[in-house]
Chains A and B, each alone.
Chain A
Amino acid sequence: GENVEQHPSTLSVQEGDSAVIKCTYSDSASNYFPWYKQELGKRPQLIIDIRSNVGEKKDQRIAVTLNKTAKHFSLHITETQPEDSAVYFCAASKDYKLSFGAGTTVTVRA
């Protein structure tokens, strides 16, 4: 099955700095790559996604890049704010199923 690795597991950044989270996947047939943000006690919420026919996508302060050849994708958050503090999960989708990375706990220091 699909194996998704996510790094780092924890990330502490100063408010206003950028945060980068990286994921790799194993199955070249995976074709959809969402990123979820989960605050404590709440549901995972989709923040951005990218499909295998696109290399980069941006939505305000958030961007995702995908390198299909290398089988890795990354989340970039610019101008971080305290409300960006949460756990972020990457995922790879194949055959209607998501395989999640282990998660990154992001802490934005004021």
Chain B
Amino acid sequence: DAMVIQNPRYQVTQFGKPVTLSCSQTLNHNVMYWYQQKSSQAPKLLFHYYDKDFNNEADTPDNFQSRRPNTSFCFLDIRSPGLGDAAMYLCATSSWGDEQYFGPGTRLTVT
């Protein structure tokens, strides 16, 4: 029973071509997060939504945007991907900031 679903699991995009990653959840959690994880590193928080309130991390590049149209869905938009944006993108959810449940991730390749 998938609880946090990410699509696609693998995404290849060209340098500078916009890409959107999606996340959905069946847990009805009010908080949703987007992390970037590069090889051998810890997940790095990009931003999170507390209900509809958007919270951006200070060091998240403007190239990264997010949308949360409803409780269940959240999207990560990369406006002009660069080679340095190749990474695993993890979505997570939590209920009132408690335990975070991670999705399986989307592996992004930039060519």
Q: Which A residues lie at the B interface, using CB under 8 A?
A: 32, 34, 42-46, 49, 89, 93, 95-98, 100-103
Contacts and interface: CB of A to CB of B under 8 A. Distances in A.
B42 A43 contact: no
The interface size bin for chain B is 20 to 34
**Main secondary structure on chain B at its contact with chain A?**
loop
Nearest to B90: A43
B94 interface: yes
**Main secondary structure on chain A at its contact with chain B?**
strand
A55 to B, nearest CB: 20
Contacts of A34: 99-100
B102 interface: yes
A93 B96 CA distance: 12
B42 A32 contact: no
B104 A43 contact: yes
Given A96-B50, A102-B42, A103-B42, A43 B102 contact: yes
A43 B103 contact: yes
